[in-house]
Chain A
Amino acid sequence: MNKIESNKGWLFVLPVFIVVAFSAVIPLMTVVNYSVQDVFDANTRFFTGTEWYRTMLNDPQLQGALVRQFIFSFTILAIEVPLGILVALMMPKKGWQASLSLVLVSLPLLIPLNVVGTIWQIFTRTDIGLMGWGIRELGYAYNISRNSGDAWATIILMDVWHWTPLIALLCYSGLRAIPEAYYQAARIDRASRWAVFRYIQLPKLTNVLVIGVLIRFMDSFMIYAEPFVLTGGGPGSSTTFLSQALTAMAIGQFDLGPAAAFSIIYFLIILAVSFVFYTTIMHMQKDKTTQKTGDS
């Protein structure tokens, strides 16, 4: 393959580079500077070196938040991805039913995050909320502000309700991109419904699924508004996720040094996971192209 490389291309990237420098790079550098100092005000600051990092890495509260964060992210991925594929497979393919179902499925995606939290907060109230009242009437003492199991189940249910449509829409578009000829060939071979899914639809969905998983992982790892509004991180700290623990420290207690050190650790974790996902995507596509050229 002859790819022409011209360094003039960099000139066109320059405006974006400047914007990113001011919106991301310079603030990030400032956070790094904060993380090695104890800053009181504009003129009073002490160099602390790696002390904040040591404190943060050994802080049981933040370790707890990190573990909860990973459990949460992987739980919602394990539910949303299969469910999203299922929804996409069941959505009508053409006609007004297809348009209607697309609109209905994408509705939750249009609601702002804190409004989602408020909706579920009211929905799960045991005096006026349909879900909370309904579960109470069925005989279970449902209470998200007392029982951490209830709180967890509700937050996961809320996230599944809010974000499964994203996976479903991505998969729906992926499914629509499969040429009819594949299905015809499958019918000629009298392939079962499962075989069609396993050997035609799922392989064709791989790319959109990896993107979907990447977006959902990053988003869920940064989740803040919904649990904050719904449970406030409680009961105790059983649903306090990373960003909320961080905000409490940086804004609530104004411990800018430790909060900055923790931000850097948080950033490195997201960067590492995203890099692994990105490499996986690129790797899979590369494998496919080499396979194709090998076949022909």
Chain B
Amino acid sequence: MNWMVWTLPTAGFFSAIAVILAGMTVWQYFSPSIERKGFLPISTTRGDRLFIGLLTSAFFHLGMIGFTEFHVLVATALSVVWVVVLMRWG
């Protein structure tokens, strides 16, 4: 695995993604998602909201890293709040 030049932060990032995906699968198995309409303009399932949340978080991170002086973990913390809000009310 040396050729993949792993680092601790990226390993942590991909582990988190893997855990989220596995968690979503288990959640879906025990309580299947029902498509519904929240504050987003389209009706979404749980997975849709997670995807939208992750993608918007990625762009949010890019904006914070590129054009502000905040530490990247500030962006991550705000993103977590945003994804939770989106999952619950989106």
A51 to chain B, nearest CB (A): 9
- Could you list 7 A-B pairs, sorted by A, with CB under 8 Å? A29-B10, A30-B4, A33-B10, A34-B5, A36-B9, A53-B66, A265-B62
The reply to whether A272 and B55 contact each other, CB–CB distance below 8 Å, is yes
- Asked if residues A42 and B2 are in contact (CB atoms below 8 Å), the reply is yes
Would you give the shortest CB distance from B44 to chain A, in whole angstroms? 9
User: Interface extent on A, as a size class?
Assistant: 20 to 34
CB-contact partner of B7 in A7, A33, A56, A275, under 8 A: A33
B33 to chain A, nearest CB (A): 12
Distance between Cα atoms of A243 and B29 in the complex (Å): 41
Q: Which residues of A contact B66 (CB under 8 A)?
A: 53-54, 56-58
Chain A interface (Cβ within 8 Å of chain B)? 5, 7, 26, 29-30, 32-34, 36-37, 39, 42, 45, 47, 49-50, 53-54, 56-58, 265, 268, 271-272, 275, 279, 283
Number of A-B residue pairs with CB-CB distance less than 8 Å in the complex they form: 56
Distance from B68 Cβ to chain A, minimum over Cβ atoms (Å) = 10
CB <8 Å contact, B42 and A268: no
Point out the residue from B10, B13, B65 that lies within 8 Å of A54, measured CB to CB. Answer: B65
Distance of B3 from chain A, by nearest CB (Å): 8
From 6 to 42 in chain B, residues with beta carbon under 8 angstroms from any chain A beta carbon are: 6-7, 9-10, 13-14, 29, 32, 42
CA distance A50 to B77 in the complex (A): 16
**B55 and A29 contacting across the interface, CB-CB below 8 Å:** no
Kindly identify which residue among B7, B55, B67 contacts A37, using a CB–CB cutoff of 8 Å: B7
> Residue of A at shortest CB range from B10?
A33
Q: Per DSSP, are chain A's interface residues mostly helix, strand or loop, or mixed?
A: helix
**B85, CB-defined interface residue at 8 Å:** no
Name the one of A45, A47, A53 contacting B62, with C-beta atoms under 8 angstroms. Answer: A53
Interface: B72 (CB within 8 A): yes
CA distance A45 to B6 in the complex (A): 11
B-side contacts of A56, CB under 8 Å: 66
Q: Decide if A50 touches B72 in the complex (CB within 8 Å).
A: yes
Is the pair A268, B62 in contact by a Cβ cutoff of 8 Å? yes
Q: Does B84 count as interface, using CB distance less than 8 angstroms?
A: no
B42→A29 contact, CB < 8 A: no
Residue of A45, A58, A283 touching B42 (CB-CB under 8 A): A283
Interface residue from A34, A49, A54, A271 paired with B55 (Cβ < 8 Å): A271
Q: How far is the CB of B54 from chain A (nearest CB, A)?
A: 10
Give the interface centre of A33, A36, A265 by most chain B CB atoms within 10 Å.
Answer: A33
Q: Are A45 and B5 in contact (CB under 8 A)?
A: yes
A37, B8: Cα distance in complex, Å: 11
Q: With A and B bound together, what is the CA distance between A118 and B57 in angstroms? A: 42
Given known A-B contacts A50-B72, A53-B65, A54-B65, A268 and B5 have beta carbons under 8 A apart: no
Please state if B42 and A279 are interface contacts (CB–CB under 8 Å): yes
Cβ B10 vs Cβ A272 within 8 A: no
Our pick among A37, A53, A279 for the contact of B5 (Cβ within 8 Å) is A37
Question: What's the Cα separation between A283 and B48 when bound, in Å?
Answer: 13
